[in-house]
Amino acid sequence: DVKVTQSSRYLVKRTGEKVFLECVQDMDHENMFWYRQDPGLGLRLIYFSYDVKMKEKGDIPEGYSVSREKKERFSLILESASTNQTSMYLCASSTQTSQVRAFFGQGTRLTVV
């Protein structure tokens, strides 16, 4: 069974802390994505990666960075967490074949206080 696993379901952090959200996939997928989901705004793309050590900004990259040192792992980093980064974060992966769907992790609900 294919799997995308996010390291935490729930996380509470303080303003100014450095936060790491980890995502691991076991399907040898080339593409990996980080989205955040906020009410009324759908899934917004933060960053994506199409290969190891490669990254591209999505639509809302400000305040975030990413790391992809190994193919199976894609990390989202909040350098200095702020309250407006309180959200649900979803990781996804896919191959680079157009016919194939994306697989999602279970989501991390991050609260910054």
Tabulate helix, strand, coil % of the chain (nearest 5).
Answer: 5, 55, 40
100 binds another protein (CB under 8 A): yes
84 scored as a contact of another protein (CB under 8 A): no
- Give the nearer residue to another protein in terms of CB position, either 14 or 40: 40
Region for 85 from its dihedrals, namely left if φ exceeds 0, alpha if ψ lies in -120 to 50, beta otherwise: alpha
Binding segment toward another protein, per CB under 8 A, in 14-22, 27-35, 70-78, 79-87? 27-35
- Contact flag: residue 41 with another protein (CB under 8 A): yes
Q: Are 32 and 46 in contact (CB under 8 A)?
A: no
Contact in structure between 11 and 20 (CB atoms under 8 Å): no
Q: Does 98 sit near another protein (CB under 8 A)?
A: yes
- CA nearest to 108, candidates 93, 97, 92: 92
Beta carbon of residue 3, minimum distance to another protein (angstroms, whole number)? 11
Chain residues in the site for another protein (CB under 8 A): 4, 31, 33, 35, 40-45, 48, 50, 56, 58-59, 90, 92, 94, 96-102, 104-107
